[in-house]
Amino acid sequence: MAVGIGIVGAGTVGGTLVRRLIDEHDALEAKTGLDLEVRRVAVNDVAKERPFTVPDGVLTGRALDLADDPSVDLVVEVMGGTGVAAEVVMGALRAGKPVVTANKELVAARGPELFDAAAASGVSLLFEAAVGGGIPIIRPLWETLAGEQVRRILGIVNGTTNYILTRMSEDGASYADALAAAQRLGYAEPDPSADVSGADATSKAAILAGLAFGTWIETAAVHREGIEGIARADVAFAAELGYVVKLLAVAERTGGGVSARVHPALVPLHHPLAGIRGATNAVFVEGPSVGELLFAGPGAGAGPTATAVLGDVVDAARELLAGAQVAPRIRLAAASGVADFGAIPTKWYVRLEVADRPGVLAAVAAAFGDHGVSIKSVRQEGRGDRATLLVVTHRAAEADQQAAVAAIGNLDVVAEVGAALRVESDEP
């Protein structure tokens, strides 16, 4: 029996998905036993050229009709956003149709509500492509690692920003040129500010934290800093100090609750995440029993993302044929509390532009000391009227680090705090 698929969105991901469902139909059937038939493809502009050909009547501008369309058995949402996409997903779930989505923004923003709607209808909501593109990470976290008390996740979960930082660090590319290339390669979100501001990674961090800890953290409660302010100078200084700059999504259990944050960070060159280059993503999971796990692979782009979506489509189709929900229900604990970000211990790299004269270093060190922040290393670059101090601190409460840097910025001898970035290493 054929399974009728309705797809909303035929851009970077959806266009490739539809083409592959058509071109690879027989190979998919041979491998899975499923006859997957594209019955509707909803887009914004039906006149636009597409990388596939479908029979008349398949292409439609009416996305919201798919929920009640009797020819559609399961719905795939690859348009993005939290407006029409939310209506599409919610409508399909309420109509009792399994839904596959790549939309991390939607899952992060409305996860609990969507999981409840799926559970009420007894159908699956599958979103393997929402985090890490082609990397299998949703199922491993929720299913395979169900028995692990995950302690911390460090993720490079945005391909666009990792691509930009890699180009800046390895080729000395400018931020603007690297971003334009990421857009050309199909890595960037429809609005690339979602990538560079860290918003995309924030959604993914919230999803990872939700799956790892069973507590859904609202995206607004995820501390977020993007890579817009990263200077080539700091990428180069970081390398001299033995680090590489990455945009990290961090989800962890702390004494004060669970926490998720997204910010650029210096990662030691020996850490497994340091070697994750270009649009590659990686999720580094730490647990008391399993130790350390690294999931890595292509985190963005049409091909890898469509593969993840196809895997979910196959699962959803199996569910329909078996008549039983395939994905285990996502159960969320009552919020066990989101940790106070200011109390989380962090380490910092601080670049200071200072006057090069006696007493400067003492004043800087005293300001750190006054806030209970101990210095790990100081390096001076340049001499003369102006010098650059590169300070790396030991771990201290985030709020104390911030207060120390603010105080240092007010010192007469400090012309500028050029950069203040966190260092993510296991050293104290």
Which residues of this protein are in contact with ligand NDP, per CB under 6 A?
A: 8-14, 42-45, 48, 63, 78-80, 84, 102-104, 129, 133, 186-187, 189-190, 300-301, 305
Of 10 and 414, which CB lies nearer to ligand NDP in the complex structure? 10
When the beta carbons of 115 and 187 are compared against ligand HSE, the nearer one is 187
252 binds ligand HSE (CB under 6 A): no
If the CB atoms of residues 305 and 393 are measured against ligand HSE, the closer one turns out to be: 305
Give 189 or 398: the residue with its C-beta nearer to ligand NDP. Answer: 189
User: What tokens were used for 331?
Assistant: 């159960």
Residues 6+ apart with CB under 8 A from 146: none
Place of tokens 């071109």: 23
Is the separation of the CB atoms in 50 and 15 below 8 Å? Answer: yes
Tokens 């044929």 belong to 321
Residues 257-316 that bind ligand HSE (CB under 6 A): 299-300
Tokens of residue 80, six digits: 């993005």
Select the binding partner of residue 390 from ligand HSE, ligand NDP, none (C-beta < 5 to 8 A, by kind). none
Q: Which of 204, 246, 347, 376 is catalytic?
A: 204
* Residue choice 103, 160, 259, 393 for contact with ligand HSE (CB under 6 A): 160
Q: Give the list of residues 6+ apart from residue 360 with CB closer than 8 angstroms, or none.
A: 354, 387, 389, 413, 414
Per-residue mark of binding to ligand HSE, 97-136 (x: CB under 6 A): ------------------------------------x---
Task: State the binding string over 175-194 for ligand HSE (x if CB under 6 A, else -).
Answer: ------------xxx-----
Residues 332, 109, 18, CA angle at the centre, nearest 5°? 105
Taking CB within 5 to 8 Å according to partner kind, which of ligand HSE, ligand NDP, none is near residue 34? none
| Distance from chain centroid for Cα 413 | 39
DSSP 5-20: EEEE--SHHHHHHHHH
Q: Which residues on adjacent β-strands are paired with residue 347?
A: 423
208 touches ligand HSE by CB under 6 A: no
Backbone Cα Rg of the chain = 24
Q: Taking CB within 5 to 8 Å according to partner kind, which of ligand NDP, ligand HSE, none is near residue 111? A: none
Burial 6-38 (b: 16+ CB within 10 A, else e): bbbbbbbbbbbbbbbbeeeeeebeeeeebebeb
- Interface pick for ligand HSE out of 158, 197, 280, 346 (rule CB under 6 A): 158
By a kind-dependent CB cut-off of 5 to 8 A, residue 80 interacts, out of ligand HSE, ligand NDP, none, with ligand NDP
- Give the count of alpha carbons within 13 A of 1, CB side only: 9
Choose between 287 and 303: whose C-beta lies nearer to ligand NDP: 303
Does 48 qualify as catalytic in the annotation? no
Q: Which residues of this chain interact with ligand HSE, rule CB under 6 A?
A: 133, 158-160, 187-189, 195, 200, 299-300
